[in-house]
């Protein structure tokens, strides 16, 4: 267990011995903070700042001064004193010591939401859009919260959630609330930030599934990404497969269970649309309701997307059939071999998955990612010598490759090797590897 009391006392003693070192002050403040004494931490920082002479480097605009001011500000906010935190932030901005403008504006927006200054918060988050944060989903969440006049604990919780999810995919909203947000996104943000992918994607979560508006919007989102060949499109769409959270009926969570995904209205709608694309492209090389002839790659990446959708719901046999079509058309696509290997592994044939990945690896021997993935699959197939041989291609050769892998803390390799030994009942070597792994974090 961490001895926080001992840490704080030790840092205090060190500070008394050498009060001229900035690091000692900050370590003592950190100890106070970790001891859940935020007021004490703020007091230590204030005392340190009071010891500085006018013109000191620690009072000028630089990264360290900025981060110290932001740290103090976050501690004040932790105490629930949002008005004081907002005033302190404004004071720092007036003194021109803030370097990370985007972070300070996010904090300012949060404080304004907590103080029910929704119009001010809306302006703050829109300012962030104008500064280039249109792909930051937390900024979109803040903007929506200010529009819907939602503050308090809900706002704080929603803004802390990471990833490509905005408020409409986090919180269950009424039709009226969705309609008001949709109007702003379609009539204001879409025109103001035409190149923003997030604006287009977030708009999808505001539309009624299978409506004409939804079908048009999802087609405008899918077709450009298919044309440019986006391998991650399937994973991107999976964030739209929402179900009500079992912990809180007022919140959404992303469906992970194949059973839940199969019955999800959004998933079924996308599958229907993609199947329509495949039929039209195979017949006429065009998308439905379009006369424009598409390149052969459009059919390839539509097949790829369909195989990914099969993979998401555990339909591995069907996915393998589609993946074979991709490889038959383009046998030089490394991504295609990777996808088929994942499907084979999901179907339970790890050895066939290794063979498939190896074919893809041979197409680009300089690709570290595909080499590492092949190594991982080899380990899972208990082909340890073959895995080490592949890892050795990207290690130093003047020493033992295994030692070099350990020194570089390639932890995923160490864990896969230990698990392989364990599956083969080589318990001694497995325990040794696990102990070495633990030793890396002591």
Inter-CA distances, 154 with 104, 113, 150, 326, Å? 20, 10, 7, 46
pLDDT at 1: 41
CA 94 to chain centre: 34
Residue 408 in this model has a pLDDT that exceeds 90: no
| 282-310 tens-digit pLDDT | 999 999 988 899 999 999 999 999 999 99
**Residue 340: pLDDT over 60:** yes
Domain ranges of the chain: 1-99, 118-206
Contact 20, 36 (CB under 8 A): no
Residues composing the chain: 442
Report the largest interatomic distance among the alpha carbons of the chain, rounded to a whole angstrom. 82
The model's pLDDT over 1-49, given as tens digits with 9 standing for 90+, comes to: 468 888 889 988 998 889 888 889 999 999 899 988 999 999 999 898 8
Q: Among 59-63, 66-70, 80-84, 113-117, which is the least confidently predicted range?
A: 59-63
Task: Tell me the C-alpha distance between 108 and 101, whole Å.
Answer: 10
* Total-model pTM: 0.86
- The 3-state DSSP class for residue 244 equals strand
Q: Per the structure block, which two tokens stand in for 415? A: 């864990």
The predicted model gives 225-232 an average pLDDT of 94
Which of 158-162, 303-307, 356-360 is the least confident region?
158-162
* Secondary structure, 3-state, 119-132: HHHHHHHHHHHHCC
**Which secondary structure element, helix H or strand E, spans residue 243, and what is its range?**
strand 242-244
CATH T-level topology, domain 1-99: 1.25.40
């Amino acid at each position: 267990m961490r001895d926080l009391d001992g840490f704080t006392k030790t840092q205090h003693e060190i500070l008394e011995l050498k009060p001229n070192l900035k690091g000692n002050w900050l370590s003592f403040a950190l100890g106070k903070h970790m001891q859940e004494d935020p007021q004490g931490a703020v007091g230590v920082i204030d005392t340190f700042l009071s010891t500085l002479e006018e013109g000191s480097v620690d009072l000028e605009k630089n990264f360290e001064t900025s981060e110290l001011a932001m740290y103090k500000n976050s501690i004040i906010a932790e105490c629930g004193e949002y008005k004081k935190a907002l005033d302190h932030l404004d004071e720092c901005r007036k003194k021109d010591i803030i370097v990370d403008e985007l972070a300070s504006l996010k904090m300012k927006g949060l404080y304004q939401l907590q103080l029910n200054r929704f119009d001010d918060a809306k302006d703050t988050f829109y300012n962030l859009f104008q500064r280039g944060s249109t792909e930051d989903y937390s900024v979109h969440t803040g903007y929506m919260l200010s529009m819907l006049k939602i503050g308090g604990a809900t706002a704080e919780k929603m803004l802390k959630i990471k990833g490509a999810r905005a408020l409409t995919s986090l919180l269950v909203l009424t039709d009226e609330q969705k309609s008001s947000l949709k109007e702003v996104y379609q009539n204001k943000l879409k025109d103001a930030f035409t190149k923003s992918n997030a604006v287009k994607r977030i708009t999808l979560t505001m539309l009624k599934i299978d409506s004409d508006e939804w079908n048009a919007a999802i087609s405008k989102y899918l077709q450009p990404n298919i044309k440019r060949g986006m391998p991650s499109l399937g994973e991107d769409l999976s964030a739209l497969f929402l179900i009500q959270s079992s912990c809180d009926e007022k919140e959404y969570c992303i469906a992970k269970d194949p059973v839940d995904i199969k019955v999800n209205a959004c998933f079924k709608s996308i599958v229907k649309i993609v199947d329509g694309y495949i039929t039209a492209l195979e017949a006429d090389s065009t998308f439905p309701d379009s006369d424009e002839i598409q390149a052969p790659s459009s059919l390839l990446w539509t097949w790829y997307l369909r195989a990914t959708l099969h993979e998401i719901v555990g339909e591995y046999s069907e996915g393998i059939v589609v993946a074979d079509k991709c490889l038959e058309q383009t046998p030089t696509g490394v991504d295609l071999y990777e996808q088929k290997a994942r499907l084979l592994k999901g179907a339970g044939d790890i050895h066939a998955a290794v063979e498939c990945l190896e074919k893809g690896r041979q197409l680009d021997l300089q690709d570290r990612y595909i080499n590492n993935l092949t190594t991982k699959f080899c380990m899972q197939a208990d082909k340890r010598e073959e895995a080490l041989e592949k890892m050795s291609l990207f290690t130093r050769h003047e020493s033992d490759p295994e030692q070099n892998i350990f020194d570089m803390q390639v932890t995923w390799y160490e864990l896969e090797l230990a698990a392989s030994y364990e599956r083969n009942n080589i318990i001694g070597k497995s325990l040794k590897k696990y102990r070495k792994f633990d030793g890396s974090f002591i």
